Amino acid sequence: MARITGVEVVDVRFPTSRDRDGSDAMNPDPDYSAAYLVLRTDDGPDGHGLVFTIGRGNDVQVAAIRSLAPHVLDRPVPETAADLGALYRELVGDSQLRWLGPEKGVAHMALGAVVNAAWDLAARRAGLPVWRFLAGMSPEEVVGLVDFRYLSDALTPDEALAVLRAAEPGKAGRAAALERDGYPAYTTSPGWLGYPDAKVEALTRQALADGFDMVKLKVGGDLADDVRRLRLVREVVGPDVRVAVDANQRWDVGTAIGWMRELAPFDPYWVEEPTSPDDVLAHRAIADALRPIKVATGEHVPNRVVFKQLLQAGAVDVVQLDACRVGGVNENVAILLLAAKFGVPVCPHAGGVGLCELVRHLAMFDFVAVSGTTDDRAVEWVDHLHEHFTDPAVVRGGRYVAPVAPGFSAELVPATLADFRYPDGPVWTELEAR
Amino acid sequence: MARITGVEVVDVRFPTSRDRDGSDAMNPDPDYSAAYLVLRTDDGPDGHGLVFTIGRGNDVQVAAIRSLAPHVLDRPVPETAADLGALYRELVGDSQLRWLGPEKGVAHMALGAVVNAAWDLAARRAGLPVWRFLAGMSPEEVVGLVDFRYLSDALTPDEALAVLRAAEPGKAGRAAALERDGYPAYTTSPGWLGYPDAKVEALTRQALADGFDMVKLKVGGDLADDVRRLRLVREVVGPDVRVAVDANQRWDVGTAIGWMRELAPFDPYWVEEPTSPDDVLAHRAIADALRPIKVATGEHVPNRVVFKQLLQAGAVDVVQLDACRVGGVNENVAILLLAAKFGVPVCPHAGGVGLCELVRHLAMFDFVAVSGTTDDRAVEWVDHLHEHFTDPAVVRGGRYVAPVAPGFSAELVPATLADFRYPDGPVWTELEAR
C-alpha cells in the first residue's frame, strides 16, 4: 500500500506589485504568492496543493500547512471518497488546531491546501482530472464527503442526496459537452484599478475579440473614476455584454447603495464584495436595495456556515466559491450543494495564483453532477501566471477548456519553484540587490 | 522619545491535558498555551501581550505575531489614544496581511496581541492599570480608537459619542466603588466535562462557600450525563444561584433546542455557544425557541462585524467578548459600544491563559465609562494558572478585585517563561523523556 512519506512546503512569491496587476481598492500592491505544498509518496505520483496569498504573511501560511504534517505523514495514500472524507473530518476535528479558527483564516486555508493536495493525489492515482473523478462518484459517496455539522437547518444529507440524484440523468452527455465546448468564462483582465483608461479600453476591446461576453471592473476607489471607466467600458462593449463591478469590501451598507446607484445607469450585471464578507445582514440590505443588480460574494467567505446564511437570508444572487479559502474540495462540495438547494448560481472566484487552474474542476463538477446547468454561470479568468503551472488553465473563445490531465492542476513547474522561492530564490535576491 | 527596539515572541505551553482541566465537549485534551509577546523599549517599561491557544498551532500563532514586527520596530512608544488608534488602524490596514483573514483567525489574533501589548506599554508609562487609563480618556478619544468600517448601519461615531457622554456623570463614583467592592464574577471551575460527579459536587459546594452566586457547567457530550450533573448542581446550590451551561459549539439548531428543552427543568441561566460562532441566524433561531433561557456567545466570534449582526438580529442576550480573539483593546471598545447601543449585557469570556487577567480591565472600563452598570453582568473566573502572572487576577467573595498595577496584567513571571517554553523548556523535555 502506497504511503505519504513527505510533506514539503515552499514559500513562492511573484513580484506582481511592480506592474499593478491585481490592484484593487483594498489591495493596492499585491505580490501574488502561494504557500505551496507537495505530498511525497513512496509509490506513484505526488500530490500538490497551495494557498493563494498576496505577499506578506505567506510565511505564516507556510507554517500553518507544516503544522498539519503529522495528520498526513505515513498515512496510506487516499484513493476513495471515503478516504478523502475521513482525512477532511480528521483535520477539521483536530480540537487544538480548531481553536485557531474555528474553520476560518490561516488555519483553515492550510487545512484546505492539505485536502486539495490529497484530492490531487487520489485523482492522479485514478488517472482522472478532479472534475471527472468527482463526477464519477455516486450521490452517496459525494454526500459522504460533506461535514453537515451546522448545515442541517438548511441542508440535510437526504436533501443533498436528492439534489445529486436529480442530476444523475444526462451526466455523461454533459461531460461530453464540456469536453467539446468548454465552460463559460468571464474576464477581469481589463479592469484592475491601477490601469490607465487607455489600457482599460484596449484590454476591453481585446476581451471582445477573444470571445468574452462578460467583463469585470474594479471599483470603489473614487466615484468619478468609476463612473468614467464604467461609461467607457459600456460604450466599448455595447448593451449586450455583461459588465460586472467588484468593490473588494470597500463599503458600508449606505455607501454601497449610494455608490451603486451612481453606477446603475451603465447597467452593471453584479456588484461583487460590496462590504465585509462576514456581513450577511449587510449583504441582504444591499441586495434588497439594488435589485435588479445582483449581489455576489464568496472569495473571502470563510466557510460553509457563512455561505449557508447568505443563502438562507437571500443575501446573495451569485455564490463565488474559492478553491483555497475554505476546507478544500470537501467543503466546496458542501457549498455547491447548498447553492443548488437554494437555486443560486455559482460563479467561482479565480485569478491569483492557481485559482483558475483549480476552480474550473469545481465548476465543471457542478455542471455535470450538481446543478446540471451553465445558465447564469461563468468562471472568472485572469490571464497571468499560468505559465508557472504544469497543467495551466486554457480559455478559448471565452470558454474554459476542460482539463484532461489527471489531478487537480495545482503543480508548479520546477523552474518556478527554484526562481521565485522567497526570500532566497534568484528573482528575489536580484530585486533585493537593486 | 522612547522607541520600540525589540519584538520577542515565545511559545509557552502548559501540560494541562494531563488533568483534564479545561475539558469540554469540543476540546477534550487542551494544553493551555500562549503565544507570548514582549515589546522591548529603549527607555522605560516594556509591553506584554499574548494570544491564548490550546496547544498545537501555538507555533503558527507565534509566527503570525512575528510577521507584524515591522509595524512596531523602531516606532515611538505609543502614549496617547491617538497613538493607539493609529497603530491599530495601520495593522488592520496592512492589505497583504488582510488577505489572511480578513480580520479573523490566526492573523487577527496576532494583531490583537500586538495592540494589547501596545496598550500595556502605554498604560505602564501613564502609571495606570488599563481600565483606569481607558476610563480617563474623553468620549472623543475613545471614539477615535474605533474602526467604524462595517459598523455604520448599526453604530455611527455620533451614536458612540452619545453612549459615552451619557455615562460621564458618576464615573468617579463608579471607579471608587470598583476599588472598594470589585466586579461580579462567576465560576466555571466546578463544571469541566472530564470531572467525575463527586468532584463536581465538591467544587460546587466550594464555589458557594467562596461567595459565588453563579456557576457554569460544560454540556453537550452526553444528554443523560448533562441531566444528571445539572440536577446534582441545582440540588447543591438551591433555586437562587444562577447555573449557566456551555455547549462549546457542539450542536446544530435542532439539537440545541431539543437538548436544552431537556435541561430546562433545572432552570439554566444561559446556554453558551450552542452552535457555530459564525452562525448569526442559527443563534437567533435558538434564542427565539428557548426564551427565557438566555443565549450567550463570543469567545470565538471573530470580529466586531459578527458581534454587530448578533446584536442587530436579536440573536444573543449576553455578549461574551474575549481579550485575545479580536483586534485587541480597540476592537473590544467597539464591541462594548455596540452592546451598550443595543442594551445587551457584556459578560467577558475568561479562563485559559491570562484571560482573567486581561478581561477584568475591559469589564471595569465598561462599568465606569460605557454601560455604567453591573446589572446582569459577571466576568468568568477559572482558578488556575494565575500563579504564572506578575499581576494575577484575584477574586474575593465572588468578585474580581480591581487591579492597581500599571498596565494590562499580561506579563508572565520569568521562571514560567524559562520552564514552560515549548518544546525546549525543562517541563517539556522532562515529559518527553518519560
In angstroms, the CA A163 to CA A341 distance is 7
Residues of B in contact with A302 (CB under 8 A): 104-105, 278, 302
| Structural domain boundaries in chain B | 4-129+415-433, 171-412
Phi, psi angle pair for A7, to nearest 5°: -125, 110
Residues of B in contact with A282 (CB under 8 A): 150, 153
Which residue bears the cell 446556554? B271
CATH class of A166-414: alpha beta
Beta bridge partners of B36: B10, B50
Cα A373 to Cα A129, A297, A332: the distances in Å are: 20, 20, 17
Contact assignment for B306 to A278 by CB distance below 8 Å: yes
Contact assignment for A96 to B53 by CB distance below 8 Å: yes
Determine the average pLDDT of the residues in A32-61. Answer: 97
Closest Cβ opposite residue B54 in set A28, A99, A306: A99
- Give chain B's mean pLDDT: 96
Contact assignment for B305 to A276 by CB distance below 8 Å: yes
Over 70: is that where the pLDDT of A303 sits? yes
Q: Options 2.60.40.3140, 3.30.499.10, 3.30.390.10, 3.40.50.300; which CATH number does A4-137 get? A: 3.30.390.10
Residue in A closest to B324 by C-alpha: A100
Over 70: is that where the pLDDT of A192 sits? yes
Decide if A334 touches B, using CB distance below 8 A.
no
In angstroms, the CA A261 to CA A14 distance is 37
Contact assignment for B152 to A59 by CB distance below 8 Å: no
pLDDT per position as a tens digit, B212-248: 999 999 999 999 999 999 999 999 999 999 999 999 9
Q: What is the pLDDT of residue A29?
A: 83
Closest Cβ opposite residue A54 in set B30, B67, B99: B99
Contact assignment for B29 to A253 by CB distance below 8 Å: no
Decide if B252 touches A, using CB distance below 8 A.
yes
Q: What is the pLDDT of residue B65?
A: 98
Q: By C-alpha distance, which of A104, A80, A83, A75 is closest to A92? A: A104
Residues of B in contact with A253 (CB under 8 A): 152-153
Q: What is the pLDDT of residue A265?
A: 98
Contacts of A305 (CB under 8 A, 6+ apart): A103, A150, A151, B276, B278, B279
Q: Strand order of the sheet with strand B4-13?
A: B4-13, B33-41, B47-53
pLDDT per position as a tens digit, A67-99: 999 999 999 999 999 999 999 999 999 999 999
Domain B4-129+415-433 sits in CATH at: 3.30.390.10
pLDDT per position as a tens digit, A107-150: 999 999 999 999 999 999 999 999 999 999 999 999 999 999 99
Q: What is the pLDDT of residue A18?
A: 76
Over 80: is that where the pLDDT of A197 sits? yes
Query: Per the residue annotation, which of B104, B218, B308, B361 is the catalytic one?
Result: B218
- Strand B294-297 versus strand B318-319 pairing type: parallel
Q: Residues of chain B whose pLDDT is less than 50?
A: none
In angstroms, the CA B293 to CA A105 distance is 32
Closest Cβ opposite residue B57 in set A97, A281, A302: A97
Over 90: is that where the pLDDT of A25 sits? no
Just list the catalytic residues of A.
Answer: 218, 349
Q: Which of residues 88-127 of A touch B (CB under 8 A)?
A: 94-110
Preceding peptide of A102 cis, ω within 30°: yes
Decide if A277 touches B, using CB distance below 8 A.
yes
Q: What is the pLDDT of residue B56?
A: 94
In angstroms, the CA B87 to CA B78 distance is 8
Is the backbone of residue B14 left (phi > 0), alpha (psi -120 to 50) or beta?
beta
The full 3-state SS of A88-145, as one line of letters, equals HHHHHCCHHHHCCCCCCHHHHHHHHHHHHHHHHHHHHHHCCEHHHHHHCCCHHHHHCC
Over 70: is that where the pLDDT of A21 sits? no
Q: Which segments within A320-426 are labelled E, that is strand?
A: 379-381, 395-396, 399-400
- Give chain A's mean pLDDT: 96
Contacts of B350 (CB under 8 A, 6+ apart): B356, B359, B360, B379, B380, B381, B382, B393
Q: What is the pLDDT of residue B158?
A: 98
Query: Per the residue annotation, which of B48, B349, B361, B388 is the catalytic one?
Result: B349
Contacts of B161 (CB under 8 A, 6+ apart): B139, B140, B143
- Is the Cβ–Cβ distance between A246 and A256 less than 8 Å? no
Beta bridge partners of B295: B271
CATH class of B171-412: alpha beta
Residues of B in contact with A98 (CB under 8 A): 26-27
Chain A nearest CA to B99, separation (Å) = 6
Q: How confident is the model at residue A26 (pLDDT cuts 50, 70, 90)?
A: confident
In angstroms, the CA B110 to CA B104 distance is 10
- Is the Cβ–Cβ distance between B200 and B233 less than 8 Å? yes
Chain B nearest CA to A423, separation (Å) = 14
- Strand B47-53 versus strand B33-41 pairing type: antiparallel
In angstroms, the CA B120 to CA B323 distance is 13
Is the torsion defined by CA of B103, B104, B109, B110 positive or negative? negative
Q: What is the pLDDT of residue B432?
A: 85
Contacts of B12 (CB under 8 A, 6+ apart): B33, B34, B35, B36, B58, B353, B412, B416, B417, B420, B421, B422
